[in-house]
Amino acid sequence: MSDERRLEVLRAIVQDYVATSEPVGSKALLERHQLGVSAATIRNDMAALEDAGLISAPHTSAGRVPTDAGYRIFVDRLSQVRPLSATQRRAIETFLRQSVDLDDIVERTARLLAMLTNQAAVMQYPSLRRSRVRHIELVPVAEGRLSLVVILDSGRIEQRLVSVASADDERLVQTLRARVNEVSGARLLTEAAAAMTELGAEFEPGQRADVDTIVATIAAVFAEDREERVVLAGTANLARAGLRDDAGLSVSRVLEALEEHVVLMRLISTRDDDPTHEVTVRIGAENDFAGLESTSLVTTAYGSDAVATLGVLGPTRMDYPQTMANVRAVARYVSELLEQ
């Protein structure tokens, strides 16, 4: 038996099962696909696929459905991710470019992914640990007070008020603004904080106390330990998908798992750090979380330095090529938006 033909049969079974949600028989395969062999040969190939653990019979019917291992082979053998149409690309870009700030970008992205894929979408806020400094602004706002604005490449903006006696010294403020940007620009936050520690020594003795106060405030912004946040959208899509696990349990187990913030954070954070930002697919039991054994997770990193992750969660019976294409395209547009 040809291994290549066996893979073609598996591919056809996956495609038909995704499209119909019904077990696939040899007769249906012959009617829907140009496989170029007899019904007997197809039945033999299906028997071999079943022996290999790639398809299984859900009940006494003649039809077969893919197993997790079968989906894994199907995904790994995809020659290319299905491209999006020009209309789809324009719709994604238009919707995301209406965002007004980082919170809006994250909320819109999650809703968009849920709508595009008809799955549950999850998006992690940019991680401070991976963020780099884009710009630091110092603006006098009142006598003895400066407004400190820290802008990160992940889109985060942090603002603080700093009380210093020399806030009205325009020359000092301009010089310090230039120096903090010079030593911190494009650096990771920990690197930027370290690079600013000796800046006070560059200024006149009477100015050093205020410079140290400002630098310490910037360093404190960099060092703040914020709880990582994740946004979830489209959970109703899971109910409509009719999820069932091996025990016949309903979608409630999946929703209960997703309600746990710790589980959600671990789920979206568990990925390989891939600088190429390739899409990662975890299928069925590859999701090592109770309640999610009947689902697949499709994720990718976004941001120039993979600052965080976004993706979708749905039944193992999902349209993998289209889902992967949507996740990759949205991540690319979000990355471009954050870099502007």
Question: Is the Cβ–Cβ distance between 185 and 165 less than 8 Å?
Answer: no
Q: Which residue, 290, 306, 297, is CA-closest to 324?
A: 297
The least confident of 22-26, 127-131, 162-166 is 127-131
What's the pLDDT band for 208 if we cut at 50, 70, 90? very high
Average pLDDT over residues 195-203: 91
CATH architecture of 86-127+228-339: 2-Layer Sandwich (3.30)
Predicted confidence (pLDDT) at residue 117 exceeds the cutoff of 50 = yes
Residue for token digits 């650096």? 187
- pLDDT of 249: 46
CATH of 3-76, picked from 1.10.3720.10, 3.40.50.800, 1.10.10.10, 3.40.640.10, is 1.10.10.10
- Between CA 144 and CA 213 the distance in angstroms is 13
Class of the CATH-defined domain 130-223: alpha beta
Average pLDDT over residues 206-227: 86
Average pLDDT over residues 80-85: 75
Predicted confidence (pLDDT) at residue 338 exceeds the cutoff of 50 = yes
- Between CA 161 and CA 285 the distance in angstroms is 50
Tell whether the torsion through CA atoms of 217, 218, 221 and 223 is positive or negative.
negative
What's the pLDDT band for 35 if we cut at 50, 70, 90? confident
For the chain, the average pLDDT equals 86
Q: Which carries the bigger pLDDT value, residue 116 or residue 1? A: 116
Average pLDDT over residues 174-199: 91
pLDDT tens per residue, range 260-297: 777 777 777 755 444 455 899 999 888 878 778 888 99
- pLDDT of 297: 92
What's the pLDDT band for 303 if we cut at 50, 70, 90? confident
Which three-class secondary structure string do you get for the chain? CCHHHHHHHHHHHHHHHHHHCCCECHHHHHHHCCCCCCHHHHHHHHHHHHHCCCEECCCCCCCEEECHHHHHHHHHCCCCCCCCCHHHHHHHHHHHHCCCCHHHHHHHHHHHHHHHHCCEEEEECCCHHHCEEEEEEEEEEECCEEEEEEEECCCCEEEEEEECHHHHCHHHHHHHHHHHHHHHCCCEHHHHHHHCCCHHHHCCHHHHHHHHHHHHHHHHHHHCCCCCCEEEECHHHHHHCCCCCCCCCCCHHHHHHHHCHHHHHHHHHCCCCCCCCCCEEEEHHHCCCCCCCCEEEEEEEECCCCCEEEEEEEECCCCHHHHHHHHHHHHHHHHHHHHC
To the question of pTM greater than 0.85 for the whole model, the response is no
Q: Which carries the bigger pLDDT value, residue 79 or residue 246? A: 79
- pLDDT of 178: 95
Predicted confidence (pLDDT) at residue 318 exceeds the cutoff of 70 = yes
Phi, psi of 46 (to 5 degrees): -65, -40
Instruction: Enumerate the domain spans of the chain.
Output: 3-76, 86-127+228-339, 130-223
For the chain, give the percent of residues with pLDDT over 70: 91
The least confident of 76-80, 103-107, 158-162, 200-204 is 76-80
Predicted confidence (pLDDT) at residue 10 exceeds the cutoff of 80 = yes
- pLDDT of 253: 78
- pLDDT of 50: 93
- Between CA 323 and CA 135 the distance in angstroms is 36
- pLDDT of 306: 73
Q: In what order do the strands lie in the sheet with 280-283?
A: 230-233, 120-124, 308-315, 295-302, 280-283
- Between CA 72 and CA 230 the distance in angstroms is 27
Predicted confidence (pLDDT) at residue 107 exceeds the cutoff of 90 = yes
The least confident of 163-172, 190-199, 224-233 is 224-233
- pLDDT of 69: 95
- Between CA 185 and CA 139 the distance in angstroms is 18
Counting Cβ atoms within 10 Å, is residue 35 exposed (0-12), middle (13-18) or buried (19+)? middle
Average pLDDT over residues 175-184: 94
What's the pLDDT band for 225 if we cut at 50, 70, 90? low
What's the pLDDT band for 324 if we cut at 50, 70, 90? very high
pLDDT tens per residue, range 246-269: 444 457 778 787 877 777 777 777
Q: In what order do the strands lie in the sheet with 133-142?
A: 133-142, 145-152, 157-163
